[in-house]
Amino acid sequence: MKGKVYIVGAGPGDAGLFTLKALDLIKSADIVLYDRLVSDDILKMIPSNIEKVYVGRNVGDDYSHQDETNKLMISHARDGKKVVRLKGGDPFIFGRGGEEAEFLRENGVEFEIVPGISSATASPAYAGIPLTHRLFSSSVAIVTGHEDAKKEELTVRWKELANAVDTIVVLMGMGRLKQIANDLVSAGMSKDTDVAIIESGTTKDQKILLGNLSNIVDKVKSSDIKPPAIIVIGKVASLAEKLDWLGAKNA
């Protein structure tokens, strides 16, 4: 038998945002390899007779962890199994899905990509923040605040971004929030530019913290907000005060 790996996006947390295709796959898989950010509600959808293996990688773990995940995908596929590699959000948006697909192709293993809803778009939507708006925002950049330590140089050009787009969405950026804010202001972005931080977006634990580039760091220090969180920078962030339909807790 010839096995196959399905690299599947689990979405941002709300089980209602899990796609029908993803649901069909986890119900018919032989084994599911799942990440840290896959919600408990989605894991409960996996039938009890299907093997589940946690392969989550925490911030700071070395790359050998990914090597072990790669080996598991290969070995189970070569055993003829239907392997679901279940990843939080969308596997091709800061999810290492591209790297895993490359590894599978290099090793002659058949694979399929199943997109998921990214937290980069879903968390702002659940906070009442439209990333584009006819009056406020005609462009969006989605960037990471945590670049690979193995890279020779950082490639997110914050100073250029300050003058290039209307809305910036930052994933995995809480640890560098102060530096990000300083870089944007030094590049000419107004200190009064609105900022929203959304913790655990789309889930029952969702929290929102609003501020601007001049005070958001201090506000975070005096709040209980923590990762995983999405940072939205731009005029649209202010709309959360008006359009927060979920009624999330303020951090």
Sheet with 194-199: list strands edge to edge.
Answer: 140-144, 167-171, 229-233, 194-199, 207-212, 249-250
> What are the two backbone dihedrals, phi and then psi, of residue 237, each rounded to the nearest 5 degrees?
-60, -30
pLDDT along the chain (251 residues), means of 10: 94 97 98 96 97 82 78 97 98 96 98 98 98 97 77 73 96 95 96 98 95 98 95 98 84 65
Nearest in space to 10 (alpha carbons), one of 50, 51, 52, 41 = 41
* Both structure tokens of 150: 């193995």
Q: Is the distance from CB of 178 to CB of 205 less than 8 angstroms? A: no
DSSP assignment, residue 248? P
**Rounded distance, CA 24 to CA 212, Å?**
43
Sign of CA dihedral 38, 40, 46, 52: positive
**Rounded distance, CA 27 to CA 234, Å?**
41
User: What is the model's pLDDT at position 85?
Assistant: 98
User: What is the model's pLDDT at position 148?
Assistant: 57
Distances (CA, A) of 234 to 110, 112, 181, 212: 42, 36, 12, 9
Q: Is the distance from CB of 129 to CB of 240 less than 8 angstroms? A: yes
* Both structure tokens of 210: 């609003």
* Both structure tokens of 145: 């605040």
Domains and CATH numbers, the chain: 4-114 (3.40.1010.10), 119-250 (3.30.950.10)
User: What is the model's pLDDT at position 125?
Assistant: 98
